[in-house]
Amino acid sequence: MGVAAIIPGVSSGTVAVIVKVYDRLILSVDTVIRRKVGMLAALLFLIVLYAGNFIMQFTMAGLIERWLEQYPATMRFFFMGLVIGSMPIIVAKTRENTTSPTFRVSTISAFTLAVLFIIVLNVVVRRDVVHAPITTLTFLNSPIIFLTGVIASATALVPGVSGSMMQLAIGVYPTYVAALSDVNVPILIVLFLGLVLGLILAARLLGLLLRRYYHVTYFAIGGLLVGSIVQIWPEALGTYAITDYGLFILVFALGFTLAFGSHLFEQHKKRHRA
């Protein structure tokens, strides 16, 4: 999730779905906020999960940025494989706990609107626009840095929606990456406060949606994942050599296998328990 959060077009929420922690993540945040039974276990789960998330962001931010610059298409094909390989997981979710038809006006509308949202976001956000990172915390720029943290954590809970893309849209992505790679403590403190607020707000909203509109919500998540392929799709594919396409196929297959393999493993465990 930490690595995915750094890469524009890739959603750490998608990774949470792939590794089967998404529902538990939403439930754990809700449990801690409401101080319900099991709060300590939920808090420990969140601490471990986000400790790994933040460690990877601190250690990998600079490296991922270099990889994206040196091997942009290869990285994007890998994550495309992950997204497409995770689709069976979403399909299975849309069929859970129901005997009635899942394809209804509400679910189809949610899926369609979600796809359109991501496509429009991709059109609006220009990746070639580079903003200078904020490196010195002031009273005037602290609100925008706080907002960066809110966006980063809130969108991290929404599969298919890239927090990095949203940061690009408001011009704060370079600030986010620079603060992580340079360990800029004053900026990181404000970012962390925004991260906490964004996590709470997004988890409460998604928890409410999953409780009341479970299948509609997962259809919308499926639409966000399908639309995210537009974000991830590599640019200028016609400029690569034939040997490069072989590599692209291999890394796509690796990403697909990792995601789809987790789905098959989960199905095997369910059959074994039954």
Tens digits of residue pLDDT in 235-271 = 777 778 888 888 999 999 988 887 777 767 767 666 7
Task: Please tell me what DSSP assigns to residue 133.
Answer: P
Under 8 Å between Cβ of 219 and 111: yes
Does 263 reside within a domain? no
Does 248 reside within a domain? no
d(CA 201, CA 206): 9
Q: Is 130 a residue whose pLDDT tops 60? A: no
Q: What per-residue confidence (pLDDT) applies to 115?
A: 87
Q: What per-residue confidence (pLDDT) applies to 162?
A: 65
User: Mean pLDDT over all residues of the chain?
Assistant: 79
Q: What per-residue confidence (pLDDT) applies to 109?
A: 92
Under 8 Å between Cβ of 193 and 146: yes
| CA-closest candidate to residue 199, choices 5, 25, 3, 10 | 25
The more confident residue out of 43 and 21 is 43
| CA-closest candidate to residue 52, choices 23, 75, 21 | 21
pLDDT digits (tens, 9 = 90+) for 200-238: 888 888 888 888 888 888 888 888 778 877 777 777 777
d(CA 62, CA 74): 17
pLDDT digits (tens, 9 = 90+) for 63-101: 776 777 788 788 888 878 877 887 877 777 777 777 677
Q: What per-residue confidence (pLDDT) applies to 207?
A: 81
- What whole-number percentage of the chain has pLDDT above 70? 83
For 102, counting Cβ atoms within 10 Å of its Cβ (0-12 exposed, 13-18 middle, 19+ buried), the class is: middle
pLDDT digits (tens, 9 = 90+) for 135-190: 888 888 888 888 878 877 777 777 666 666 666 656 677 777 788 778 888 988 99
Does 177 reside within a domain? yes
Q: What per-residue confidence (pLDDT) applies to 113?
A: 92
Q: What per-residue confidence (pLDDT) applies to 100?
A: 74
From residue 86, give the alpha-carbon distance in Å to each of 8, 188, 195, 247, 270. 18, 32, 26, 21, 18
Task: Give the range of the structural domain holding residue 225, as residue numbers without chain letter.
Answer: 2-70+98-237
Q: What per-residue confidence (pLDDT) applies to 73?
A: 83
d(CA 27, CA 121): 28
Q: What per-residue confidence (pLDDT) applies to 250?
A: 93
A 10 A CB-CB count for 124 gives: 9
Provide the residue type at 106 as one letter: S
d(CA 102, CA 97): 11
Does 195 reside within a domain? yes
Does 209 reside within a domain? yes
* Number of domains present in the structure of the chain: 1
Does 77 reside within a domain? no
Task: Please tell me what DSSP assigns to residue 213.
Answer: S
Confidence of residue 44 (pLDDT cuts 50, 70, 90): very high
Confidence of residue 58 (pLDDT cuts 50, 70, 90): confident
Does 84 reside within a domain? no
Does 269 reside within a domain? no
